[in-house]
Amino acid sequence: MKPARFDYHSPTSVDEALALLQQHANDVRLLAGGQSLVPMMNFRLVAPGVVVDLNRIPELAYITDRGNVVHIGAMTRQRAAEFSPIIGEKVPLLREAIKLVGHLPTRSRGTIGGSIAHADPSAEIPMVFQALEGEAVARGPRGERTIKAEEFFRDALTTSLAPDEMLVEVRLPAMPPGAGFAVEEFARRHGDFAIAAIAAVVVRDGARCCKARLATAGISSCPVRLRAAEQVLEAEGLGESAVARAAEVAADAVEPLADHNASAEFRRHLTRVLTGRALLSAVARAA
């Protein structure tokens, strides 16, 4: 229950961190908040020969309001995001979801970028990243590039980041003023990873739905958008029967995981129920 031996580096700049990633390719792990990595190392599920600690690169932690987009440094603590007025005002869906991420002590250390780059299938922050159509900024030896949320997640714990790249920033478009939003999660205990969760954002124009966004956590190997369900709402509006139809379409569309927590059929059932609940809440909140 103790980590295997490793060589430890604590760079003070992104360039230094990238050089270490290149130098020790295949045997290196980046240490961000450590709330996922260190338990895995304690179990020796992973035993990297080199650990690069990102916690002494202060330039990586920030929350900046750029008007239509919020820029979040990858090492921003979840706790900082939870209490950030910018997050609360511009992307309140993130604040709502963060309250479900672990517990306050894990949020003191866990980071926004770490959660997204680690890409646990049951994690809530990647789900919000999908629902808000965020962008990831990756930096590597070839420079910087942006990766859209819909192209970021490949499989469980697997992203589009190249081995010599690191996530430096997460960009979230500001939610339209008056947008309704909700997160519904099913877990065994408060703070647990989601067995199934749905994040919903709706923008209404009278009875019409001008925009609906739905994303999942815990249901499949990656957080996914429920596009068919979104289209139902954008075509049929936000009334009870449209919401019920959207929930059915969502349940049909997912490819649910089966594991010791839940069968595939149960996750499919949860998709329908949680989508319905999230939409009803989001619609009620929408101006």
Partner 1 sequence: MAQLVDVHLKVNGKPYVGQCEPRKLLADFLREDLGLTGTHVGCEHGICGACTILFNGEAARSCIMLAVQASGAELVTIEGLAKNGKLHPLQQAFHENHGLQCGFCTPGMLMAALDFLRVNPSPSEEEVREGISSVLCRCTGYRDIVRSVMAAAAAMRSETTREPAK
Least distance in angstroms from the C-beta of 7 to partner 1: 6
Rounded to whole angstroms, the Cα distance separating 134 from 66 reads 14
189 binds partner 1 (CB under 8 A): yes
Q: How many residues bind partner 1 (CB under 8 A)?
A: 31
Nearest to partner 1 of 92, 191 (CB atom): 191
Helix (H) or strand (E) holding 214: strand 208-217
118 binds partner 1 (CB under 8 A): no
Least distance in angstroms from the C-beta of 15 to partner 1: 21
DSSP for 53-70, please give it.
E-TT-GGG--EEE-SSEE
Stretch that binds partner 1, among 47-55, 61-69, 174-182, 230-238 (CB under 8 A): 47-55
Rounded to whole angstroms, the Cα distance separating 175 from 208 reads 18
46 binds partner 1 (CB under 8 A): no
Nearest to partner 1 of 88, 191 (CB atom): 191
Least distance in angstroms from the C-beta of 53 to partner 1: 7
252 binds partner 1 (CB under 8 A): no
Least distance in angstroms from the C-beta of 45 to partner 1: 10
Measuring CA to CA, which residue among 148, 126, 118, 147 is closest to residue 35?
Answer: 118
10 binds partner 1 (CB under 8 A): yes
Nearest to partner 1 of 43, 142 (CB atom): 43
DSSP letter assigned to residue 193: P
Q: What's CA 273's distance to the chain center, in Å?
A: 21
List, in order, residues 6 or more apart from 160 with CB less than 8 Å away. 147, 151, 152, 153, 154
Distances (CA, A) of 206 to 93, 227, 235, 282, 283: 22, 22, 14, 14, 11
4 binds partner 1 (CB under 8 A): yes
Choice from 19, 38, 157, 174 touching partner 1 (CB under 8 A): 38
12 binds partner 1 (CB under 8 A): no
142 binds partner 1 (CB under 8 A): no
Stretch that binds partner 1, among 40-48, 132-140, 162-170, 227-235 (CB under 8 A): 40-48
Q: 156: phi > 0 → left, psi -120 to 50 → alpha, else beta; which? A: beta
Measuring CA to CA, which residue among 275, 95, 82, 103 is closest to residue 189?
Answer: 103
221 binds partner 1 (CB under 8 A): no
Contact (Cβ atoms closer than 8 angstroms) between residue 267 and residue 243: no
Nearest to partner 1 of 3, 92 (CB atom): 3
Q: Dmax over Cα atoms in the chain, in whole Å?
A: 61
Considering only residues 58 through 117, tell me which ones interact with partner 1, judged by CB under 8 A.
Answer: 79, 102-106, 108-109
Rounded to whole angstroms, the Cα distance separating 173 from 207 reads 24
Least distance in angstroms from the C-beta of 149 to partner 1: 27
| Chain residues in the site for partner 1 (CB under 8 A) | 1-8, 10, 31, 34-35, 38-39, 41-43, 51, 53, 55, 79, 102-106, 108-109, 189-191
